[in-house]
Amino acid sequence: MTQTIKVAITGAGGKMGQEAVRMVTSTPHFQLVAAIDMHNDGKLLSEIEGMPNVEVRMYNDLHKALTENEVDVLIDLTNPKVGRKHMEIAFEHGVRPVVGTTGFSETDVRELSQMAEEKGLGAIIAPNFAIGAILMMKFSQMAARYLPDVEIIEMHHDRKLDAPSGTAVKTAQMISEVREPKQQGNPEEKEELQGAKGAEYEGMRIHSVRLPGLVAHQEVLFGGIGQTLTIRHDSIDRTSFMPGIRLAVETVMKLDLLVYGLENIIE
């Protein structure tokens, strides 16, 4: 028999958080035990319009939620400032975090890995939980061996706080593992309008587009002699991230260290 995994969600009232609430409450071997949201403290989820009809208490304080409930896994879908704090609180309570929040620095990830190791607790941070996006990153890494001139264009809804996206940074990191460091473009080029060339990552360029109507999209463009290659992924709905989060919740229960990136838990 599969063991029931008790889950709490921070950012439960947000766009991703609401989707995660629906995913957890509709997964038979998951049990949602607390929803943490800055509003509606003390209410039940069933009292909130658009939320599943479940008698789960809402809190505005993660520490209190983890003290009053037995929790195995915390799903965090907030922002990088509070996301890091939430991971630290989860570790203090012996709870394994699964974090979709983006915008963590490499230092954050390193320090959080150390904390997980000291506590012997599993943790997963993934800047993108959509399987198609993982494939887009892997295919890009393959292509960069042969076509080292790369531009990444990421496009998101205009409410997004961080730029470039965690997925774009992760893609650049994966590409840089196989790509010979190279300064792209004309050495004489001049930016007439500041920012026109985008952000630089080891000579590659990253461009962030923000528009209403978009969800989460990325193109990785490669140029070679007489040819170009474009690898594109589109998340057209936030449900695209839920199978990845579900897998991470199941997997984190078997881990005793921090894993960064969904690609590292997919067989």
Residues that bind ligand NAP (CB under 6 A): 10-11, 13-17, 36-38, 77-79, 82, 100-103, 126-129, 160, 216, 241
Select from 246, 210, 22, 236 the least CA-distant residue to 129.
246
Cα separation values, 16 from 9, 101, 128, 237, Å:
10, 9, 12, 10
Catalytic residue at 160? yes
In our burial notation (b when 16+ CB lie closer than 10 A, e otherwise), range 3-34 reads: eebbbbbbbbbbebbbbbbbbbbebeebbbbb
Distance CA 142, CA 154 (A): 19
Distance CA 249, CA 262 (A): 11
CB 207 within 8 A of CB 232: no
Task: State the nearest-atom distance from the C-beta of 145 to ligand NAP, in Å.
Answer: 26
Toward ligand NAP, which CB reaches closer, 169 or 220?
A: 169
Task: State the nearest-atom distance from the C-beta of 121 to ligand NAP, in Å.
Answer: 20
Toward ligand NAP, which CB reaches closer, 102 or 148?
A: 102
Task: State the nearest-atom distance from the C-beta of 127 to ligand NAP, in Å.
Answer: 5
Distance CA 15, CA 114 (A): 30
Toward ligand NAP, which CB reaches closer, 147 or 206?
A: 206
Structure tokens at 218: 């990325």
Toward ligand NAP, which CB reaches closer, 147 or 252?
A: 252
Task: State the nearest-atom distance from the C-beta of 216 to ligand NAP, in Å.
Answer: 6
Structure tokens at 260: 């960064």
Active-site annotation holder among 156, 207, 217, 233: 156
Task: State the nearest-atom distance from the C-beta of 261 to ligand NAP, in Å.
Answer: 10
Catalytic residue at 233? no
Active-site annotation holder among 6, 43, 160, 197: 160
CA diameter of the chain: 65
Toward ligand NAP, which CB reaches closer, 13 or 97?
A: 13
* Residues designated catalytic: 156, 160
